[in-house]
Amino acid sequence: MRGPHNIWRLIRTAGTFEKTGAMDVVLEQASAPRELRIAARVLGWPFKWLGYSGDPALPPVTRALTALGPSYIKLGQILSTRPDFVGSDLAMQLRVLQDKLPPFPTAQARAMVEVDLEMPVDVLFSEFSEPVAAASIAQVHQARLATDGRKVAVKVLRPGIARAFRRDIDAFYLAARLIEWLSPQARRLRPMDVIAHFDETVQQELDLRTEAAAAGEFAANTARDEGFSVPAVEWSLSGRAVMTLDWAEGIAMGDVDALDAAGHDRAALADRVMRMFLRHALRDGYFHADMHQGNLKVAPNGDIVALDFGIMGRLDEYTRRVYAEILMGFIRKDYRRVAEVHFEAGYVPPDRDIDLFAQALRSVGEPIFGMDSSRISMGRLLSYLFEVTERFGMETRTELILLQRTMVVVEGVARTLNPHMNIWQAARPEVESYIRGNLGPQAFARDLARTVRVMARFGPHLPRAVEAALVRHRPDRAPLDGADRKPRVQGGIWFAAGAFTVALVWGLVALA
């Protein structure tokens, strides 16, 4: 869908930002260079009359994005995870951007269900309600299964939403290219990568089979977590445009008065929200990356129920270990160790001064740990940490920024439940538990066993590899110049010896 319409879409976007007053806010908060300011004004000011007015009751940026439609709302949510790109204050404003739109008719939803599941709605469900929630990409209906009467939630994509997003994403790519072309210094922030990440996220959300798979994986990982649950997926009633899950009864976590009336212990809930988030991030490397109050319920039995699995985060095992060591270093105020971890992980270039870096880390940690315990913020610490590491040459790491953004959201949820909560006191047991299991002798033995298993998979190839190496390096096949013969023969011997060692290890593993 490349074409002139993308330029028209950018002009209308700039006009909307000018008309709503959002342009000034964005340019200032993002510290946009002169070239980008000029280009934005050229695109926006003359075409202000073409812009949408939006809701005057909303703040300027929220007003502009909401007026421009679902794609822009989603882009704003993604940019809230990139304070390095839009600035900390603007990122904070974008975090509260509400992904809510008027529902589309139930008749359309029923038609989409019938097309996707290839059966009449009345055959599948004995009840199918009006929409109970509506967002930019999909809406949710309450229903009852025709087979056993169980209550379920049926999520249905908006009609035509894929085409609408594709059109706007093409315009976003054009904007990213213009930013990189006009401002070479902005290339460090990789605008094209930001839009590519947005594109990937949206494409996953536009296929509800992907979200169903995320819900299933998350449920399997957390099945033994006491006090936490994930609704089960009804796979036979889920497809590309429809996803069906068990209905989750409970009180929205943001409704503090209702939680009190039901007798729930809010302080215990606050601790559990923080612990569960860290446990999933560190233990599983797979965490719910949109854990705001609207996606969390408290069941009648006190369990925390997670909903909406469109945005999930992953951390590889090595990154988890690095992250845990960084957190533990700050908890113990061992700034030298935190600095060493950054250098060992390659996050900071090796030519930088480790002592100066450790000193800069102290400037991050000490002011925060000097606060009253109820004001200590792990999210703020990580935000300051990224600012310091950027000064020392650390490149942007999207997975860590997503983790930091989610942590800020989780902290906000926890403090709503318990304003006097000590975040670090709640976090410490999970971090220490992970470190004991993954950074000590047990972890070393486990890593060694995995290495041996990987080597063992090549066992069947070893006899032929050894024979080929010996034939290739036979003395009678060496060059006539004897000066080159000895190294080649020695190389063949060493290769054969190495192959024999691997074969031996493979044999021992097989016998074990």
CATH code, domain carrying 115? 3.30.200
**C-beta of residue 282 within 8 angstroms of C-beta of residue 323:** yes
CA 29 to each of CA 84, 142, 158, 371: distance values in angstroms, whole numbers, following the listed order: 11, 42, 33, 27
361 and 382 fall within a common domain: yes
pLDDT in tens, the chain (512 residues): 455 667 777 788 888 888 888 787 777 766 677 777 777 777 767 767 777 888 888 888 888 888 888 888 888 877 776 665 666 677 766 766 666 678 899 999 999 999 999 999 999 999 999 999 888 889 999 999 999 999 999 999 998 888 888 888 888 888 888 777 776 666 666 778 778 877 887 887 889 999 999 999 999 999 999 999 999 999 999 999 999 999 999 999 888 999 999 999 999 999 999 999 999 999 999 999 888 888 899 999 999 999 999 888 899 888 888 888 888 888 788 999 989 998 888 888 888 999 998 998 888 878 776 665 566 666 666 777 777 777 787 766 666 777 877 887 888 888 889 888 887 788 888 888 888 877 766 666 666 666 667 666 766 776 777 777 777 766 555 554 444 444 555 555 555 555 555 555 555 444 44
Is 447 an active-site residue? Answer: no
Chain-centroid distance of CA 107 in Å reads 34
Q: Is residue 446 part of a domain?
A: no
Check residue 99 and give its pLDDT.
62
Q: Is residue 176 part of a domain?
A: no
267 and 359 fall within a common domain: yes
Closest-CA residue to 399 (of 327, 501, 492, 314):
314
Given 99, 116, 290, 308, the catalytic residue = 290
410 and 267 fall within a common domain: yes
Where does residue 158 rank: exposed (0-12), middle (13-18), buried (19+ CB within 10 A)?
buried
Torsions phi, psi of 31, nearest 5? 50, 50
- Angle 224-230-234 from CA coordinates, rounded to 5°: 120
405 and 495 fall within a common domain: no
422 forms bridges with which residues in the sheet? Answer: none
Q: Is residue 420 part of a domain?
A: yes
**C-beta of residue 374 within 8 angstroms of C-beta of residue 347:** no
Q: Which of 99, 123, 144 is the last residue of a domain?
A: 99
49 and 192 fall within a common domain: no
Mark 35-63 as b/e (b = at least 16 C-beta within 10 Å).
bbeebbeebbeebeebbbebeeebebbbb
143 and 188 fall within a common domain: yes
Q: Is residue 445 part of a domain?
A: no
Number of neighbouring beta carbons within 10 Å of residue 170: 17
222 and 294 fall within a common domain: no
pTM for the full predicted model: 0.74
Count of structural domains, the chain = 4
* Tokens of residue 460, six digits: 């069947």
Q: Is residue 497 part of a domain?
A: yes
CA 2 to each of CA 6, 8, 168, 171, 173: distance values in angstroms, whole numbers, following the listed order: 7, 12, 10, 8, 10
- Angle 199-63-72 from CA coordinates, rounded to 5°: 10
474 and 429 fall within a common domain: no
Strands 296-298 and 286-288: unpaired
277 and 222 fall within a common domain: no
Place of tokens 């290890």: 505
355 and 381 fall within a common domain: yes
Query: What residue numbers bound the domain in which 107 lies?
Result: 100-163+184-247
Strands 228-229 and 304-306: parallel
- Measured distance CA(114)–CA(242) in Å, rounded: 10
203 and 241 fall within a common domain: yes
* Tokens of residue 453, six digits: 């298993």
Q: Is residue 459 part of a domain?
A: yes
8 and 88 fall within a common domain: yes
Q: Is residue 118 part of a domain?
A: yes
Q: Check residue 58 and report its DSSP letter.
A: S
Q: Which of 395, 410, 439 is the last residue of a domain?
A: 439
Closest-CA residue to 94 (of 129, 64, 128):
64
Q: Is residue 496 part of a domain?
A: yes
Mark 353-384 as b/e (b = at least 16 C-beta within 10 Å).
eeeebbebbeebbeebeeeeeeebbbbbbbbb
Q: Which of 57, 72, 99 is the last residue of a domain?
A: 99
- Measured distance CA(158)–CA(140) in Å, rounded: 10
